[in-house]
Chains A and B, each alone.
Chain A
Amino acid sequence: MIRWALWLLGGLLLGGIVHLGSVLLLPRTATQDAYTRLAPFTPANTIVPVPAPTPDDAALPFMDPAFATAACRYDLAKGAMKLRVPVSQAYTSVSFYSRNGIAYYAINDRAAGRRVIELDLMTTQQRAELPDDEEVTAADRLIVESPTATGLILIRAFSPEPGLMTMARRALASAQCRPQS
């Protein structure tokens, strides 16, 4: 009897390790994460409008229906990216997500303080390789470092009431996301 109790105890301890391991490994094995869901209709390094969520169909779960959304699925393998988003009348935000969906940076129109949100996106390594003088002259340039080589940028414009949704969508249409150089 004691022997089985010990086996059980051992099993529970091992179970704790299995639990921690599965939690840590799950993000790498997920087949339904946001990046995978958006990939079929978002060519890399360009801005694509994300269809508004409906009860039957939504690109992602828990999308806010009061926003017009556009996505840029980026790949920094060939170099840094440039993002240019003219702000809409109501509210515009730009959120950066890593390959695994971690929101590592987000900025809104007020924080950007201009009519146009302009950002450079690069990996930590690409930033380190920037010539020193260039970094000095570009002091007013906002640089965002991506923790992963691929990821998602979500650009969202607020529509205070349903009638203003077309306007919010139009505001996003002029946003740009393209490779630098």
Chain B
Amino acid sequence: MRLLLGFLFAFAVAAAFGLGLTQFALTRGTAFGAITIGAWTAWPKTGTADIDPYARAGIARTGELPVGSGDGVAFFTSSDEAGRTLDGRCTVTLSGTTPPARFWTITLYDLDGRLVANAANRFGFTSQEIARRADGSFEIVLSPRARPGNWLPTGGIDRYVVVLRLYDTPVGVATRTAKDAPMPAVTAGGCA
């Protein structure tokens, strides 16, 4: 009887611990092959046949199709440089330059990968739509209310993900540092 109880206990622990760990790993994302530059993280290997088992399980669960490495690379962020979570009720500034690429797009999603609804029906920018300074750098403001310049509406949702996709770019599996890939700074500002 005690043996049976012991087995049941061990199996319960195994199921809870094992599946819990899987759930945790798949929702948090893993560090395998990740490139982190400032606030941004990319998983270039996810766009190749060398994809790691965690990312494989992740895309099977969400239904996402990762950007192929012959196409481009996607950088994600949901917090600023200081680690503060991006809040759609507050102002967030992206400023600086982007790594070399034929062009890039920047898009806002909710945590499930849906576009962020807003009255302006604007979900992102392409590199060709951006107004820049004389030196080629730019500033994009993410906020719930309209701003002059490059403004992306957050629709006032509480959490969101910014995805910067570089297309036809040398940035990829071999990229390591901000010197190869200067990403725009992410700064969370005041809340409305």
Q: Which residue of B lies closest to A98 (CB)?
A: B49
- In addition to A15-B14, A101-B59, 7 A-B residue pairs with Cβ atoms within 8 Å of each other are A4-B6, A26-B60, A34-B59, A64-B124, A93-B70, A101-B66, A160-B128
Chain B count of residues within 8 A CB distance of the other chain = 62
Instruction: Please pick, from B22, B61, B165, the residue contacting A64 in the complex, using a CB distance under 8 A.
Output: B165
When chains A and B are docked, how far (Å) is the Cα of A7 from the Cα of B56?
32
Number of inter-chain CB pairs below 8 Å: 207
Q: Is A86 an interface residue (CB 8 A)?
A: no
User: Do residues A64 and B107 form an inter-chain contact, with CB atoms below 8 A?
Assistant: yes
| Min C-beta distance of A31 to chain B, whole Å | 9
User: Do residues A23 and B22 form an inter-chain contact, with CB atoms below 8 A?
Assistant: yes
Per the 8 Å Cβ criterion, residues 89-136 of A in contact with B are: 91, 93, 95-97, 100-108, 110-111
| Chain B interface, DSSP helix/strand/loop, else mixed | mixed
User: Do residues B47 and A106 form an inter-chain contact, with CB atoms below 8 A?
Assistant: yes
User: Do residues A22 and B22 form an inter-chain contact, with CB atoms below 8 A?
Assistant: yes
Instruction: Please pick, from A66, A105, A147, the residue contacting B105 in the complex, using a CB distance under 8 A.
Output: A66
A15-B18, A108-B71, A161-B129 are known contacts. Are A91 and B64 too (CB-CB below 8 A)?
no
User: Do residues B126 and A19 form an inter-chain contact, with CB atoms below 8 A?
Assistant: no
Q: Is A24 an interface residue (CB 8 A)?
A: yes
Q: Which of B2, B62, B103 has the most CB of A within 10 A?
A: B62
Residues of B within 8 A of A53 (CB): 114-115
Q: Is A171 an interface residue (CB 8 A)?
A: no
Per the 8 Å Cβ criterion, residues 1-32 of A in contact with B are: 3-4, 7-8, 10-19, 21-24, 26-27, 30, 32
User: Do residues B167 and A158 form an inter-chain contact, with CB atoms below 8 A?
Assistant: yes
| Chain A interface, DSSP helix/strand/loop, else mixed | mixed
User: Do residues A61 and B113 form an inter-chain contact, with CB atoms below 8 A?
Assistant: yes
Instruction: Please pick, from B14, B26, B61, B70, the residue contacting A105 in the complex, using a CB distance under 8 A.
Output: B70
Q: Is A177 an interface residue (CB 8 A)?
A: no
* 5 closest cross-chain pairs (CB), A and B: A106-B68, A18-B18, A61-B113, A11-B13, A15-B17
Q: Is B54 an interface residue (CB 8 A)?
A: yes
Residues of B within 8 A of A (CB): 2, 6-7, 9-19, 21-22, 25-26, 46-49, 51, 53-54, 56-57, 59-72, 74, 102-103, 105, 107, 109, 112-117, 123-124, 126, 128-129, 163, 165, 167-168
User: Do residues A15 and B63 form an inter-chain contact, with CB atoms below 8 A?
Assistant: no
When chains A and B are docked, how far (Å) is the Cα of A91 from the Cα of B71?
10
When chains A and B are docked, how far (Å) is the Cα of A100 from the Cα of B13?
30
When chains A and B are docked, how far (Å) is the Cα of A106 from the Cα of B66?
11
Instruction: Please pick, from A4, A10, A91, the residue contacting B102 in the complex, using a CB distance under 8 A.
Output: A91
A12-B17, A23-B22, A95-B68 are known contacts. Are A33 and B59 too (CB-CB below 8 A)?
yes
User: Do residues A23 and B17 form an inter-chain contact, with CB atoms below 8 A?
Assistant: no
User: Do residues B60 and A33 form an inter-chain contact, with CB atoms below 8 A?
Assistant: yes
